[in-house]
Amino acid sequence: MLDIEVAGAIAPAANIAVYFAPNTDAGFLDAVTTAIHDTTNRPSVVSISWGSAESTWTAQAMTTMDDAFQAAAAMGITVCVASGDSGSSDGVADGSDHVDFPASSPYALACGGTSLLAAQNSISSEVVWNDGANGGASGGGISTFFATPTWQAGATATPSSGQSIALPRRGVPDVAGNADPETGYDVRIDGTDTVIGGTSAVAPLWAGLIARISESVSGVAGFLTPQLYKHPQALRDITRGNNGDFEASVGWDACSGLGSPNGQAILGAAQAGMKRIAQRAIKRG
């Protein structure tokens, strides 16, 4: 419900297809592959708001899902995935840091959370979402399974207890958006109005934006994640706050990624990426 209402509010003219499957690893994978290869709806973007700590998955399940996301990227489909709502621990009570999968797949656009305040149609404050252990916080950190993707080369994470470190593996999230329930989204459930937050709202927020970008470029925006890392200025950098063990900083960080969206600037980044692809095609021809 949340995904549909948020994505529909951002992109009201979009064709939204919903895929149902059993709540198992095989069912999850089947839903993803069915969506990606849906020749009737031909999605330009997929939104996923479900996941759990990498430690709860088998290596086989993560590898297979990552392969599906890689196929989506090759087809020009961006898969937006919530990074989790339990901060740097991802809800695992072992004293260590964990990241959420499938957000940690290098071929997912991992979506973290901020707390955003606005006045008179402009942002007055935006910080990393962190309402404490019981209130929720932006999921983020460093994968223990996936290698660092090429587009994250040079990125560093800043632990709350030490100096910045180069990413030894895939860093999460890639981007962020308003996720604090206190500054959340008006939705309607069974005829009752309420407000909901969480990174489960940020994935469809980005999906709706990407759908609109695809419409603006008269096709599919393509796998957007590498383009965002090439054009970090297209996002609003979040430099204040933490998600527990990781601090926000200038540039990419392990709690808000590259930052929150600036739609017009991201459209420009997508157009630049498509132009480069077209130029390469002409050279090959």
Q: How many angstroms separate the CA atoms of 100 and 140, rounded? A: 8
Map tokens 């990407």 to a residue: 210
Predicted pLDDT at 162: 79
Percentage of the chain beyond pLDDT 90 is: 84
Predicted pLDDT at 274: 58
Is 80 exceeded by the pLDDT of residue 281? no
pTM of the predicted protein model = 0.93
For residues 149 and 170, the answer to whether their CB atoms sit within 8 Å is yes
Predicted pLDDT at 269: 82
Predicted pLDDT at 285: 53
**Per-residue pLDDT tens over the stretch 159-171:** 988 789 999 999 9
Burial class (CB in 10 A: 0-12, 13-18, 19+), 99: buried
Percentage of the chain beyond pLDDT 70 is: 94
Can you give the residue ranges of every domain in the chain?
A: 2-284
**Per-residue pLDDT tens over the stretch 233-245:** 999 999 999 999 9
pLDDT bin (cut points 50, 70, 90) of residue 220 is low
pLDDT bin (cut points 50, 70, 90) of residue 270 is confident
Identify the CATH class of 2-284: alpha beta
**Per-residue pLDDT tens over the stretch 75-88:** 999 999 999 999 99
Is 70 exceeded by the pLDDT of residue 219? no
pLDDT bin (cut points 50, 70, 90) of residue 273 is low
Average pLDDT, stretch 123-136? Answer: 92
